[in-house]
Amino acid sequence: GAVVSQHPSRVICKSGTSVKIECRSLDFQATTMFWYRQFPKQSLMLMATSNEGSKATYEQGVEKDKFLINHASLTLSTLTVTSAHPEDSSFYICSARDVSARTDTQYFGPGTRLTVL
Amino acid sequence: GENVEQHPSTLSVQEGDSAVIKCTYSDSASNYFPWYKQELGKGPQLIIDIRSNVGEKKDQRIAVTLNKTAKHFSLHITETQPEDSAVYFCAASKGYKLSFGAGTTVTVRA
């Protein structure tokens, strides 16, 4: 149980284009999902917290107009990187909390490797 | 905010030996401490967690200890195997926001 999927697993795009990444909880409902960014050989940095049916909460320094987050259902959150540039190239990982478990446990997806040319 | 420090940054052990990774946290209100294993190109996988009302937890070859007074917690892996080679992250949270350590790259030598 507690499986989180992400799609796509990797994407290469041209500078200036937008890219959408999907995060799904497959066997549980997730009121809250999280989006992280990880640069090579570094730790995970929280970008934003996504709550079902409401606006996302962004961490300091993260541009909300550049990283659009939508959490339309209890099993799906999307991250759209708008007008992507090479510096946005990174490993993007989502996680989800199982609302029924009433714990702080977060389960992570497999990540999406974004490369902007 | 919460600050989590993790040591060592790299750890090389002989197969069959034990590995220990230590983390300290700054916020005494933190009450949940998970450990994640991340293999190259993959997302983090939860391997064990502990809550502030417990001092020790064990799951087969993996154990975690928590010292609330000193604000530190440790991961212990016994009888290490080559498949234990990965990057390990500790984290601390109160509520739901996780603060991660910098990670430890563990290499198990055959």
For B1-16, the pLDDT digits (tens) are 789 999 999 999 999 9
Instruction: Give the whole-angstrom CA distance, residue A86 versus residue A116.
Output: 5
pLDDT in tens, chain A (117 residues): 689 999 999 999 999 999 999 999 998 888 899 999 999 999 999 999 998 888 899 999 999 999 999 988 889 999 999 999 999 999 999 999 877 766 678 899 999 999 999
pLDDT 10s digits, B30-43: 999 999 999 999 99
Whether B98 and A106 lie within 8 Å, measured CB to CB = yes
Whether A42 and B102 lie within 8 Å, measured CB to CB = yes
Interface test with A, best of B97, B104, B105 (most A CBs within 10 A): B97
Whether A44 and B32 lie within 8 Å, measured CB to CB = no
pLDDT of residue A52: 84
Q: How far is B79 from chain A (nearest CA, A)?
A: 26
pLDDT of residue A1: 66
Residue A108, strand partner residues:
A95
Q: Are A5 and A110 in contact (CB under 8 A)?
A: yes
Instruction: Give the whole-angstrom CA distance, residue A21 versus residue B15.
Output: 39
C-alpha count within 13 angstroms, C-beta hemisphere, residue B68: 12
Query: Which chain B residue lies closest to A104 (C-alpha atoms)?
Result: B96
Give the rounded percent of residues in chain B with a pLDDT score beyond 70: 100
Pairing between β-strand B104-109 and β-strand B10-14 as defined by DSSP bridges: parallel
Tokens standing for A50? 């996504």
pLDDT of residue B14: 98
